[in-house]
Structure 1
Amino acid sequence: MLLCASCNRAKSWSCEHCENWIDSKDIEICLKCYWGRPENYDHVTLEKIRRLELTWQGVEVNFFEALEKEADKGNIALPEYIKLLLMDYIGKRDKNGA
């Protein structure tokens, strides 16, 4: 998997601190990790974690900046704000039977 520099560092740090890597270095466990197979993973460093990388480009940047402003108004970190919006959307959708 090709990674940008910051993602590569995150991967390195995660692997260096993973109990599997420290102790047994079981490749099967690595292959079930996000860093081993991001398209089909069970865990990130043996923890139940899900990751999502979003890129905003072109006219989408305006939407990103609008989200950023709203998050700032509420004094909420942008990733947390987006999670809250998505959870609210899914919750409303489930209640409406959609």
Structure 2
Amino acid sequence: MPHTYSDEFVAWVRGLQFSRRAQRALEHILEHGSVTTAELNGMGYDHPPRAIGDLRDAGVTVVKEMVTVDGRRMARYALLDQINANASGIGRKTLSKRFREDLYDMHGHKCAICGGSYTSRELQADHRVPFRIAGDSRELLLDEFMPLCASCNRAKSWTCENCPNWEPRDKHMCTACLWASPDTYGHIAGTEERRIAVTLQGDQVHLHDRLSAAAAAAGVPVDEWVRENLELLLENNETK
């Protein structure tokens, strides 16, 4: 991997627009020649590939190799010293604090996937349709984003990265997915699948303890016990 970059390339790449997280990753790469997953973690990124994805979104060619550092296998990223004349030069738009707060307020400070209640610092404003699929609208719209807790955001990132839609990049396929439209979805990453996510907090925690006890008595995991009893639950509800 290269350890130095030409002055022409540095001037070009610094003229592009990036998110704050991508800007920090870029400056580290320009100074040190590359950046590892561990180094990105040290900058406070729970999901390092997102910062690298922001660089790619703006048209920068990023090369990746797997390396072993202190006995740990991880990715190391560098830039291809090549000016991309077709790059839009526009990465993700920076979301203002006011925009984020309006989004969180609109959803009652709840994660759109698991339904858990969180503080603003615990939530992340996430594109419903990945930026690399649909980009940003000329004017940012609240309806194009949803609040996710850190756990659900990581789960979405992993699912999206392994989704077959990266080849056709069909926006409509994304909008019909759980990770974009949890209330009306028809598939999960192209698979005929339905998922129920419930977060129990505070005085609701005892419900999970009761479920765990019932599952243990039946000798099965909690999720299996719930699946086996769903039909009975629905039938009881319909007879009321």
What TM-score do you get using the length of structure 2 for normalisation? 0.36
Which has the larger helix fraction? 1
Mark the CA change 1:24 to 1:87 in structure 2 (over 3 Å): closer, same or farther.
same
Task: Give the Cα–Cα distance (whole angstroms) in 1 for the partners of residues 190 and 207 of structure 2.
Answer: 35
Letter in 2 for 1:16: E
**Which residue of structure 2 aligns with residue 2 of structure 1?**
147
> Which residue of 26, 30, 39 maps to 2:170?
26
CA distance in 1, matches of 2:178, 2:222: 22
Partner of 2:32 in structure 1? none
1:50 aligns with 2:209: no
- Report the alpha carbon displacement of residue 91 of structure 1 after superposing the two structures with TM: 4.9
- Structure 1 distance, partners of 2:237, 2:204, is 24
Which of 226, 233, 236 is equivalent to 1:82? 226
For structure 1, the 5+ residue unaligned runs are none
Q: Which residue of 1 aligns with 2:182?
A: 38
| Partner residue, 2:208 | 64
**1:63 is aligned with what amino acid?**
L
1:79 to partner: Cα distance: 1.6
The alignment-based identity, stated in percent, is: 36
Deviations 1:2-33 (A, max 9, x none): 11111111101111111112x11111110111
Q: Given the alignment of the two structures, is residue 15 of structure 1 paired with residue 160 of structure 2, yes or no?
A: yes
Distance 1:91 1:35 in 2: 29
CA displacement 1:7-66 (0-9 Å, x = unmatched):
111101111111112x11111110111111112111000111112221223443222201
Which letter does structure 1 place at the counterpart of 2:232? D
> For structure 1, which segment, 53-62 or 39-48, has the greater mean C-alpha deviation from structure 2 after superposition?
53-62
Task: Give the match's secondary structure for 2:194.
Answer: coil
Instruction: Indicate the structure with greater strand content.
Output: 2
Q: The residue matched to 1:2 in structure 2 has which SS? A: strand
Shift of 1:92: 6.1
What amino acid maps onto 1:80 in structure 2? E
**TM-score scaled by length of structure 1:** 0.80
Provide the alpha-carbon RMSD of the alignment.
1.9
| Structure 2 stretches lacking a partner, 5+ long | 1-145
Change (3 A) 1:26 1:6: same
Determine the C-alpha separation between the residues in 2 that align with 1:62 and 1:73. 17
- The structure with more radius of gyration: 2
